Amino acid sequence: MTDFATLLGDNPGLAVALIAAAGFAGWIDAVVGGGGLVLIPVLLIAFPNAVPATALGTNKAVAVWGTLSASITYLRRTKVPLGFLAAAVPIALVFSGAGAAAAAAISTDWMRPMVLVLLLAVGLWVALRPGFGSGEATPLRRAGVAGGLCAAGVISFYDGIFGPGTGTFLIMAFTALVTGDFLRSAAMSKVVNLSTNIGALIVFGFGGHIVWLLALVLAIANVIGAQVGARMAINRGSGFVRVVLLVVVVAMVGKLAYDMIAG
């Protein structure tokens, strides 16, 4: 993969587009997840001769910094069940790493239609139930905690293998099982998603699929976007997260449908 300095000299417009995409991806990731839908296609366009795994690995190396930044902001300004997160983080780390390790042996072709149906179900559920995720925070219950931890493991494994919709699925699972509101679920999803990113990042790193200098440059823009997104979500509340979630679900459904048709 060409380094960023060469790209900046050869095609400054594309270099600027990469920086802008990294910033926008950080914003989306901080609110509901799904930043990879923005940055990965731009990376593939900027470096057409690179193998897809390099774009995926470099995207993870960028996203992990924005997710870390957003997680810190959420934890400082939002009350979340820290005991639940203390259990969910190692589960997410292990299961995402296992998913990334298994990715080469599992075809994702059969996963696209399944994820497409799940995303459509999520979108319809949120659209038709305006009160979902907008109520008061619910007290933790043992069954909800157990279900939330199981969901964190399953979704983290999926993130390592495939990935699209991970943040959305985490928010929906945590809202239904643990918190009762989108804002706290978004905060928790960032911490868990940070762990899934690290688990996958380790696997991509050992495989030599990360362009570290490029990732460092784009990570700066990603962190800025993540900070803006996290602060907007906290200041505007669950209603704002709900709207962005629906928009991202529509975008992901369109992207997956296009991939199925084109593939």
**What is the distance between the alpha carbons of residues 29 and 208, in angstroms, rounded to a whole number?**
25
**What is the distance between the alpha carbons of residues 209 and 200, in angstroms, rounded to a whole number?**
11
CB 85 within 8 Å of CB 57: no
pLDDT score of 225: 97
CB 6 within 8 Å of CB 24: no
Using DSSP, state whether 66 is helix, strand or coil.
helix
The one-letter code for the residue type at 232 is: M
**37-76 residue pLDDT tens:** 888 888 888 877 777 778 888 888 999 999 999 999 999 9
Instruction: Tell me how far CA of residue 35 lies from CA of 77, 147, 198, 234, in angstroms.
Output: 22, 26, 16, 18
Paired tokens of 246: 């629906």
pTM of this prediction? 0.84
Residue 193, pLDDT > 70, answer yes
User: Which carries the bigger pLDDT value, residue 10 or residue 246?
Assistant: 246
Name the percent of the chain lying above pLDDT 70: 90
For the beta carbon of residue 65, count every other beta carbon within 10 angstroms: 21
Residue 1, pLDDT > 70, answer no
Instruction: Tell me how far CA of residue 62 lies from CA of 54, 92, 141, 202, 231, in angstroms.
Output: 12, 19, 36, 13, 20
256: left (phi over 0), alpha (psi -120 to 50) or beta: alpha
- The CA angle 257-116-169, to the nearest 5 degrees, is 135
Q: What are phi and psi of 10, to 5 degrees?
A: -80, -35
Paired tokens of 147: 């279900």
pLDDT score of 139: 65
pLDDT score of 229: 95
Cross-strand partners of 134: 181
**What is the distance between the alpha carbons of residues 239 and 195, in angstroms, rounded to a whole number?**
26
